[in-house]
Structure 1
Amino acid sequence: MTDTGPIPRRAARQAKARRRRRRNAGVGLSVLLVAAAATGWAVYGRGGSPADAAGGPVATAGGTHTAAAKPAARPTATEPAGTVTLAFAGDVHFTERTANRLGVDPALGPMSTALTAADFAMVNLESAITTRGTPQPKKYHFRTTPDALGALQRSGIDAVTMANNHAVDYGAQGLTDSLAAQHDSPIPVLGIGADEAAAYRPYVTTINGVRLAVVAASQVQDYTNQKFRAGPGSPGIASALDRPRLLQAVRAAKRQADVVVVYLHWGTEGQSCPGPEQKSIAADLSAAGATAVVGTHAHLMLGSGMLGPTYVAYGFGNFLWYGSSPYPHSDQTGVTTLTVTRGKVAKAVFTPALVDGKGVPQPQQGAAARQITDRYAQLRGCTGLATAPH
């Protein structure tokens, strides 16, 4: 099956592939020095190693390639960083009514057009990646296969977070499988790792000469965050409940990058206004150097805007969703695209969508689009945020 959007999918994929090639060619020497001891997606990307930066042959799950021998120079203080576009959407999983989306290209439907158009796009994968394990003592259990990561890549996604309350729905065995899928993934999987150093480690890349770092964590007070929080020698998710550890990760990311994004799982289900714990951590992350703080969990959209120099989106809502949520407006969703120039958010554009009866976000036009967009703008009223540039 194939879904078609406003532009041909092949052209969109080719355009994004060109951007990815430019991005890979620009990996800076500074990242190599910072992460000489790291492996995997942590800094270099999948299959990365010091040889990657040196231009030697690199073995990956997809074969052997030769990296660019001379990375692009990082902008200096007198040479401001360029412009990068970042697209974000909400919660995604492949189960029940959305399980068959693994056989559809693009899996995320026509909204993939908005995601593919950005230089970098990211969603929350609300699921364990396993076919084994034991359901944990909780009400809902979500899982999928490693094929989901390739399906998301083909939908224009460049990275996912698994720092959420469903990443370990199938216990230790499921977590082991998820970490194996992370290792072999065609895209970075953030917010989960073999220990806390891996779980909190930022994904760092260069796009259009701009150094981008992304950190992910969960602030949700739940079974997963209590029982499967990554520790010094134990696997699990990155927890925003350990605020000092998260802030440490963000400050470290800021030392490496021009633009720092923090993608959180946060808020309270069914509440369309951010709670005090969200506002508090957003302020701390802004002070730590975050360019943007975004996230999901409430199953509906929350307001967004500027907190000083930092763009904050308190909730993107459901995106590719297995069933209906018992909250008003839970089917309203969309893609938020940020244009970041010289390290600052210069524009925020919201592309509205509505989750249909099959769980797929469908772009909206005319009066239907205005209704969702207007309501989304009104949600800013309880956030304390200023209007973002548009």
Structure 2
Amino acid sequence: MKTYFFLYLLISTSLQAGNFKSPDSIVSILFCGDVTLANHFENHVGNNTVYPFEKIPWFDDADLTMINLENPLTSRGSAVDKKFTFRALPVYAKMLATSGIDIVTLGNNHIYDFGSQGLFDTIDYLRKENIYYVGAGRNNSEARHPVIFFRKGLKIAFLGFYGTHKHSDSYPAQIDSAGTALRQLNLIEQDIRKIRNDVDLIIVNFHWGTEKATKPGDDQIAFAHNVIDFGADMIIGHHPHVLQGIEKYKNKIIAYSLGNFIFGGNSRPEYTTALLKTKISKNSLNAEVIPLKVTYWQPEKLEGNAGKAVVDSVKKLSQSFKKSIF
């Protein structure tokens, strides 16, 4: 929400802000899944930038809202050599901003679909609309940078990562070249420890896992636990395109996959999904699953028994963990 003061910064920037409130103040953050504003989405929506979000005006009631933006915003560049490539109209950056989205993760396998030119344009259009980003950048330093918001007396940091050297489509950023921030354990540990003493909450986004898998792999679970042990408070996962369980580990939250939110790469016009609503204070961290139905790439809250069924499905998927949010 742009009515608050927030700061986009590298670690070396000093942390200072006014408008601090009681330590008991509650900060609400909404986390949504994969968003691709291309292909079938563009064919249906065109330039109607009001339509996609008009049934979820409560985005603007949250203190922060985050999505996984899984396409470049550009009309330039050439597609890289891969099976599926996406790009979206630059005007959609304004649509995201007016809908109430504050921050996106670009650390995914489609942000580089139109090369460095597509990524550069995306960054420029997001900045123009005061939307902040993590997980990719013009170089490795920018890709790994945290974004820190001040909300109601809390300093909340976001990081994003995608891919390893084994991923052929991860296009990792280098010292002097654009790309994504590698999901490499020792680097993530460094990035978390750099800011741990300066912030109240650290939220880490991962693009990982297997498409269509309803459960995370054992390697993901171990990886997530390590990252929590390093000092992260919450992990938000993307990529499988389906919902997965939500673990509570050492009283921290791990949402392994939030599925699709608005995914224009899929020709299926109707589906159910969910978002994660978190409520945070200096002394507590709570989350709930908000069920959604999406009709022709327009999400809205799913009420009644149908909504309960979505929540129950995530609850069931969470039963394999020693502890969950349910």
What TM-score, normalized by structure 1, do the two folds share?
Answer: 0.76
- Name 1:34's counterpart in structure 2: 12
Residues 250/185 of structure 1: CA separation in 2 closer, same or farther (3 Å cut): farther
- Name 1:387's counterpart in structure 2: 324
RMSD: 2.6
Q: 2:287 aligns with which of 338, 348, 353?
A: 348
Contact 1:302 1:315 in 2 (8 A): yes
Name whichever structure is richer in helix by fraction. 1
CA drift of 1:32 comes to 9.1
Contact 2:37 2:88 in 1 (8 A): yes
- Name 1:279's counterpart in structure 2: 221
Give unmatched runs, 5+ long, in structure 2: none
User: Are 1:162 and 2:106 an aligned pair?
Assistant: yes
Q: 2:172 aligns with which of 190, 213, 229?
A: 229
Other structure's SS at 1:129 match: coil
Q: Deviations over 1:366-390 (max 9, x none)?
A: 11111111111111123x251226x
Residues 138/307 of structure 1: CA separation in 2 closer, same or farther (3 Å cut): same
Residues 109/316 of structure 1: CA separation in 2 closer, same or farther (3 Å cut): farther
Runs of 4+ in 1 over 4 A off after TM superposition: none
- Name 1:13's counterpart in structure 2: none
Number of equivalenced pairs: 322
Other structure's SS at 2:169 match: helix
- Name 1:238's counterpart in structure 2: 181
Other structure's SS at 1:128 match: coil
Contact 1:159 1:187 in 2 (8 A): yes
Q: Aligned partners of 2:168 and 2:95: how far apart in 1?
A: 29
Q: Deviations over 1:337-376 (max 9, x none)?
A: 111121531x2121101222x1222321111111111111
Q: Deviations over 1:35-89 (max 9, x none)?
A: 26xxxxxx8xxxxxxxxx7xxxxxxxxxxxxxxxxx32879xxx85642111101
Other structure's SS at 2:50 match: coil
Compare relative contact order (CA 8 Å, sep 6+) and give the higher one, 1 or 2: 2
Residues 344/230 of structure 1: CA separation in 2 closer, same or farther (3 Å cut): farther
Other structure's SS at 2:124 match: helix
Q: Indicate the percent of aligned positions where both proteins have the same amino acid.
A: 26
Residues 313/137 of structure 1: CA separation in 2 closer, same or farther (3 Å cut): same
The aligned runs of 1:77-88 (5 Å cut-off) are: 80=23, 82-88=25-31
- Name 1:144's counterpart in structure 2: 88
The aligned runs of 1:24-173 (5 Å cut-off) are: 24=6, 34-35=12-13, 71-72=17-18, 80=23, 82-99=25-42, 100=45, 102-105=47-50, 107-113=52-58, 115-173=59-117
Larger Rg: 1
Q: Aligned partners of 2:11 and 2:189: how far apart in 1?
A: 22
Q: 1:317 aligns with which of 248, 259, 270?
A: 259
